[in-house]
Amino acid sequence: MLLLVGLGNPGSQYAGNRHNIGFMALDAIAKRNGIRPWRRRFQGLSAEGPLGGERALLLLPGTYMNDSGRAVAEAAHFFKLGLSDIVVFHDEIDLAPGKVRVKTGGGIAGHNGLRSISAHIGNDYRRVRIGVGHPGVKSLVEVYVLSDFGKNERPWVEALCAIIADHTELLAKGQDAAFQNKVHLGMQAKGFLAANEPEQPDE
């Protein structure tokens, strides 16, 4: 069993926020792979189905970002999952818009959703860091991530979520580097990343 978690805040008022790109990515994964229906479970919404030859549980915590760990811990304990079986999709202000990095463990970079998850289950779970860019001033970060993507940003957001969904099977197979590279190349092909920009491994 693989647990895929999308981070975000529940409620229509948050649906278009940069902070909710984890929710957006997971919704695209569910649609692309025919994983349904969503039902209320594990303090959020979840859906189960096959993914890359593995059984997968998709989870959108309904606890609000700062308490994401409660929902993740409940699902992980129910299925007796190890940290390597958990993949968390989240927004990352320290990456340029449209860039994706996959890493295991590491710091939380001030992300309250990751802080909560690490407090509940430990730190060495896998993360798919989805770049949303930085407002340039630290004091503006909270307002920035809790604001909707602009109209001019929506094309790359939709393209990125679709490309992530197209290649999530690689994550299910443990091929994190291949997944990251496929997403990078896909965004280059769509013209959202410079074609001559080299792919760099995660630090």
Strand order of the sheet with strand 39-41? 39-41, 44-51, 54-61, 2-6, 86-92, 126-131, 100-104
CB 90 within 8 A of CB 17: no
Q: Which of 19, 90, 167, 184 is catalytic?
A: 19
Which residues does 179 contact at the CB level (< 8 Å), separation at least 6? 102, 167, 168, 170, 171
Give yes or no: 90 in active site: no
Amino acid at 10: P
Residues taking part in catalysis? 19
